[in-house]
Amino acid sequence: GEDVEQSLFLSVREGDSSVINCTYTDSSSTYLYWYKQEPGAGLQLLTYIFSNMDMKQDQRLTVLLNKKDKHLSLRIADTQTGDSAIYFCAEMGGGSYIPTFGRGTSLIVHP
């Protein structure tokens, strides 16, 4: 079946850029998403990208998609302590209405 892989942990210094990576296997993926989960909370949709796009920028967030390699990344510029959370990558394939999530990357921001 379809699979979404992420590294489990990322540690960065406050003010640096963070890059969270994700790979997926479904070549028919149409939508790719990044969600943020703060401790004890639900998931918040941060951004999404269509498969016919290479890049999307939204303030401090930049999403890059390499469809050939099935690789998605989320770059957070000027990372702040408030960015500490778990970030989930998700994909939804053509014709499907149910997204598949990765295991999440715990981002730890230290002073």
Instruction: Give the span between the Cα atoms of 48 and 18, in whole angstroms.
Output: 18
Options 16-24, 40-48, 59-67, 74-82: segment touching other proteins (CB under 8 A) = 40-48
Q: Is 97 in the site for other proteins (CB under 8 A)?
A: yes
Q: Which one of the spans 15-23, 59-67, 72-80, 100-108 is the region binding other proteins (CB under 8 A)?
A: 100-108
Judged by CB under 8 A, which of 10, 65, 72, 88 binds other proteins?
A: 88
Task: Work out whether the CA dihedral 58, 46, 49, 16 comes out positive or negative.
Answer: positive
Helix, strand, coil % (nearest 5) of the chain? 5, 60, 40
Candidate ranges 10-18, 64-72, 74-82, 99-107; the one touching other proteins (CB under 8 A): 99-107
Distinct helix (H) and strand (E) counts, the chain: 0, 11
Binding site for other proteins (CB under 8 A): 4, 31, 33, 35, 40-45, 48, 88, 90, 92, 97-104
